[in-house]
Chain A
Amino acid sequence: MAEGGKQRVSISIIGLPESGKTTFLAALWELVNERRIAKVLSFDSIGENDHSYLRKIVTVWRRATEQARTRLTGLSAVRMNLKDGDGNVVEVVMPDAPGEDFRAMWEDRELGRVLGESLAGGNIMLLVNGNKIKPPAWVTERAAQRRATGRQKTQALPKEWHPSLAPTQVQLVDLLQLISHAPVGRAGRRIVVMISAWDKVEGERLTPDTFLAAKLPLLAQYLEAGRDGWTSRVYGVSAQGGEYDGNDANSEPAEGEGPMKKTQKRRDANRLREVDIPANRIRLVLGERESNDLTEPLQWLMR
C-alpha cells in the first residue's frame, strides 16, 4: 500500500444502530485536534470531505450531549490524514453509515454500493454497545432457574420469527462473514472490536476480552477460530466518558409554537462539561491497561 512513501490505509467503522459510531468519530476528531494530549497518531491534514459534519458532531460531543440519530440518507464518508511518531502519514477513511445499513445487511441481505465498496478492502473497527447486547437465552440456565425457583415450564405462545429477533452476536458474526467474502470483501484482515459504553459495563469487572467471551461467545469464538483469517483485538471504550444529556435538536420550538421545556439535564453531563480538556473524557481499555488515546487501535489497524 506504499504510495510515494505514504501509507494509505482504509479503516471502516461499523456497528449496529446505537453502537456509538458517531460518538466515537466525534471523540476521535476532538482528540486528534487536541495538541495538549499525547497520542500515537496525530492530525496531519483533513481529507476531501464535508467538514461541517465533523464540526457538527464534535460540537454536540463537547456539550456532553447525546448524538442525534444518523439519518438514513446523507452518508458522510469522513477522511482524515494522521501521522505516527516516525512521521509516516496515513489516510484514514471512515464511512459514517447509519446503523440501519448494517442491520439491513443481516435482516434484508441488502448492501448499498457505496458502503459495500468502503467495506471491501480496509481493516475494520466494529463497535458493539456493551450496554445493549441482546444476550443468547441459555436453555440450561433457564432450566436451572426453574429448578431453583420451583416454577413450572410455561407454554410460550408461538411467535413469528423475524431476523431482528436474532441475538446481537449472531447478527455481528454474519456481518463479519459477509464482508469476508466476495463480492463484498476479502478475508485475512485486522479487526478491532470496540465495546462501547464501557463505563456502563465495567462494573462487571471484566476485561474487554473476557467481556466479549462471556457476553458474545459466538463472536469471540468466530474471531478466535480464524476461519476468515481475522486478526483481532478487543478494546473497551467510553468515547463520551459518562452519561450525556439528551439532545435538544428535536426539542426546539416547532413551527408556530412557543419554546418547549428543555430536556432535563443529567448530573453526569455537568461533570463531563467541567473537564478542562474535553478529550480527557475519553476512556480506552485494553486488557488491564487504560488510556484516552483513541488513535491507538487505529495505529494497530494500520499495520
Chain B
Amino acid sequence: MANALSRDRIRVDQALHGYSEGHRLINGSLKLPQPDARTMLVLSDASASGSRIPLGGYLTGYPLSESGKYVLARTWAAPEMSRPGCVWTHSLLIDFADLARLGSAVGLLKCFQRPAGGGGSGFASRLEVEVTRISTAVPPPDLGRVGRWVSALYGKPRSRIIAEREGPDDDGLVVAIWMQQWPRLRRAFRFCSFAADDRSTSADVFDLQLMDAGRSSRPRIPEGVIASAVERGDWVDTLLDDLKLPARSDLRQFLRDVGSDVTSGRAAMVPLVHLHVALEPNAGPLRLADAISELDRLGSAQGRMGRAAAARVVLSRLDLDDARLFDFALQQVRADRDLLGIEPAIVGRALLRWKPYLLADGLTHEDPLYRAVEAALPQVDTDDLVAVIEAVPGAAAAVLSSRRDVLERASFWRVTSIDAFSLIRSLDADQDHSALIVRALAEAGRDDSSQVVVERFGIGPVVTALSGMDVAGIRSRMGWVRAIAQRTNELAEGMVDGRLSHRPLLLILAEILDPDAVPNSVGTDPWVAAVERTRTTDDVSAEDLLAAFLFNRARGWRSESTGRLFFLSVQRLHEALASERLTSEAWRIAKQRLPYGSVWRDWDQCEKLRHAVVDNFINRELPPIEFGTVVDDGNLWKELVDLAADSSRGRRYLDKVRTALRDGHKRWWIERAELIDRKVT
C-alpha cells in the first residue's frame, strides 16, 4: 500500500511569502540555501508595481538550481495589508526528479491556497500531491493563441517572449505549454502569467511572460519578442496537435526520450519536432537527413538520444537505402561505448550490409562496433555472410571467428580470393565439423585442397564425407579418394575400426589401390573387416573388380586373412570369369596372380583360379574350415575338392577339412564332409 502511494503521489515542499515589515518568507516546510532563498524572495514579490493583479492571482514558474527544485508559485494581491503593493505568494517546491513524473500540473494547481485573515499557518508542512499522468488538453478555441506563443518560444529560442494576457484561463495555457516540454527543458523553463516588467535577471532569463493587457501596449522589455510578431514554423502544427489531443500523440514520450541530454533549452524543440516527424514510418530518407543535420547544428554534445533514435531507425529500417544516413548512424553508434543503447545485433546487421569492409580493417575490442558485429554474426543468414566475404575477402577472418558454419558452404569455398590452403591449415575443427567442410570443399570442386585437408585432419573427415556419396559421386571426386589412398596405415585403421565401411568407397579404393598397399600387421585383414561390414551392391562390374582385388590380395604376401579373402572373392570372380563378364580393369587385377595353366588349357581361366585357391590353401596350410566354407556354390566347391584330392598332400589337407566341417554341426557342413569322404576313401 505504501508503495502504491509513493508511486502515485509526490511530496512537495511549500513556502508562503508575504508582507511582514517588508516582503519576506512567512512560513515554509524547507530551509533553502541562501542564493535560492534570495531568488525565491525576489520572484515571490509582485511582478509589477501598480498593476491590477488578477483576482485569482497569477503563476510564476522557475528553477532553484542549487536546491534541485522547481518552484511553481501563485501570487495574489494583498490589499488587506497595511502597506500598498503587498502580495501573498504560495510557492510549491517540486523536486526536479518528481517534476519529470508529472503528465499534467492539475494536481499542483489544486494545492494553491491564498492565506486567509493575514495568517500564514498551514504552510509549514510538506504536501502530498497526486501524480497526474494524463496530460491536459488545450481547448480548440485557444489553440490559435497558444500556437503564436509556441511559435515564438521555439522559433526565437534565445529571446524572452512576451504575449498579452487575456484572462485567468491563460494560466492553464502557459502550464500546458510547460507540461508539453521534456523534463530537462521543463525544469529550466521560466514563465510568469502576469507581468508588467521583465522579471529576468542578468543570470536568469524568463522564457515566457504574459503582459498585463490593461497596460500600455508598448512592451517594457527591450529585448523581448512579441509572440504575435513571430512567423509561424511548419513544426507548430505538430506541437498543437499534441496539445489538442495529447492522449493520441506520441510526441511527448518522444521528447521525453530524446530530450534527456539536450542542454540547449528551447532551441532544441524545433529540431526534435522535425526529427519526430522524420522518424515516422512514411517519412522518406531526405526528410530524415534534413532533420539530422538540423539536430547536428545544436552542437556535437547535444541530442545524443535524438541521434540515437535517428540512428536506430536508420539501422533498422531496410527501406531507408541511403548511404549518407548510414554513415551518420554508424558515426553515432561508434562514438558511444554502449552503441547509444541500440541493440548491438541491429547495428551489426546494418554494418554487414553497408560497410563490410570495416570487418576487414580489423575492429579492435575497444571499438564499440566490435561488439555489434559479434552480436550480429550469429544471427545472419549463412548465404549473406558468404556474400559479404565474396565482396570483401578480408572480412573472412572476422566472420569465421564466430561463424564456422560458413566453412560448410560450398559457395564459400568457391570464392576464388579465399586462400583455401592457408585457411585449412589454420583450422582447428572437430571431426564432424571437418567432414562437413570436406563435403563443402568437394561440392565446390576444390579437389586441389584434398591433400592439405588430409594432412591437417587425417583421412577421417574425407572418409566421412565420401561415405555419404554413391559410386558415381565418389568417382567424380577422385582427388579426395587419391588423397586418402596414400594414407594406407590410416586406411587400415579405418577399415578395422569400422569408420571406413561404405561399400561404394571400398569399391573405388579397390580400383586405385594396389592390393598389397594396405598393411595387415596383426589381426584380421583390414579389407576383410571392411568388406564384411558392408553389403554387396548392384554395381556388378565394380563388385567383380572388388572380387578381383581381394583375390589378388589373398594371393599376395600382405594379408593375415587369406582364407577369408578367398571366401569374399573366389565364388564371384569364378562366376565372372565363367560368364566372361569381367571388365578389363578387373581382369588386369585378377590375372596378375593367376597361376600359369597347362599349355593346352590356357584359355580356361576358371581352372587357373581353382588351382590357385586350392594350392594356396594346401601350401600355406590355411585354416581347413576356411577351405570348407570358401564358396557357397556346391559345384564349385566340389571342383575345388576334386583338385585338392589329386595329390596326397591335398588329400591329407582334405582330411583336416573334413574334420573341421564335422565339428561344425551345420547341415551343409556335414554334407561337404561326406563329399570329402567319398573323394578320399
Contact = CB atoms under 8 A, between A and B. Distances in A.
Nearest to B35: A110
Contact of B41 (A100, A247, A250): A100
Contacts of B56: 255
B437 to A, nearest CB: 80
A247 B34 contact: no
Interface string A25-67: 0000000000000000000000000000000100000000011
Contacts of B23: 69, 71-72, 98, 100
B79 A72 contact: no
Contact of A252 (B38, B52, B201): B52
A85 interface: no
A72 B49 contact: no
B41 A72 contact: yes
Interface string A247-268: 1111111111100100000000
Contacts of B473: none
Contacts of B78: 250
A249 B49 contact: yes
Given A250-B85, A254-B52, A255-B168, A98 B22 contact: yes
Interface of A: 16-18, 56, 66-74, 98-100, 103-104, 108, 110, 132, 164, 246-257, 260
Contact of A74 (B77, B83, B167, B197): B197
Contact of B55 (A72, A246, A254): A254
Given A98-B22, A250-B79, A68 B85 contact: yes
Given A17-B22, A100-B23, A249-B84, A73 B45 contact: yes
B24 A250 contact: no
A250 B84 contact: yes
A69 B86 contact: yes
Nearest to B44: A72
Given A66-B84, A68-B49, A247-B84, 9 more contacts: A17-B21, A69-B49, A98-B22, A104-B38, A250-B78, A251-B84, A255-B54, A255-B55, A255-B56
Contact of B83 (A16, A18, A56, A254): A18
Nearest to B200: A73
Interface string B53-83: 1111000000000000000000001110001
B627 interface: no
Contacts of A17: 21-22
A249 B45 contact: no
B83 A69 contact: yes
A195 to B, nearest CB: 18
A277 B573 CA distance: 153
B84 A246 contact: yes
Contacts of A255: 52, 54-56, 167-168
Interface residues of B, number: 31
A70 B22 CA distance: 9
A108 B38 contact: yes
Contacts of A103: 22
Of the listed residues B37, B45, B53, B86, the one surrounded by the most CB atoms of chain A closer than 10 A to its CB is B45
B42 A73 contact: yes
Contacts of A132: 21
B276 interface: no
Contact of A250 (B37, B77, B167, B197): B77
Contacts of B49: 68-69, 71, 74, 249
Contacts of B85: 68-71, 247, 249-250
A247 B81 CA distance: 11
B199 interface: yes
B86 A72 contact: no
7 contacts: A18-B22, A67-B84, A71-B45, A72-B45, A100-B41, A247-B83, A251-B84
Interface string B573-586: 00000000000000
Contacts of B54: 254-256
B46 interface: yes
Contacts of A247: 83-85
Contact of B167 (A16, A98, A253, A256): A256
Contacts of B34: 108, 110
Contacts of B45: 71-73
Contacts of B42: 72-73
A71 B167 contact: no
B149 interface: no
A128 to B, nearest CB: 14
Interface in B2-21: 19, 21
A71 B167 CA distance: 24
Closest 3 CB pairs of A and B: A247-B84, A17-B22, A68-B85
Given A108-B34, A110-B38, A249 B50 contact: yes
Nearest to B37: A108
A253 B52 contact: yes
Contacts of B197: 73-74
Most-contacted residue by chain B among A18, A73, A260 (CB, 10 A): A73
B22 A99 contact: yes
Given A68-B83, A73-B199, A108-B34, A254 B22 contact: no
Task: Pick from B53, B78, B83 the residue with the most CB of A within 10 Å.
Answer: B83
Contacts of A74: 49, 197
Residue among B79, B199, B201 with the highest chain A CB neighbour number at 10 A: B79
A249 B41 CA distance: 21
A73 B49 CA distance: 10
Contacts of A257: 55
A146 B84 CA distance: 40
Chain B CB count within 10 A is highest, among A98, A249, A251, for: A249
A100 B83 CA distance: 14
Interface in B315-334: none
A123 B592 CA distance: 138
A250 to B, nearest CB: 5
A197 to B, nearest CB: 14
Nearest to A107: B24
A164 B83 CA distance: 19
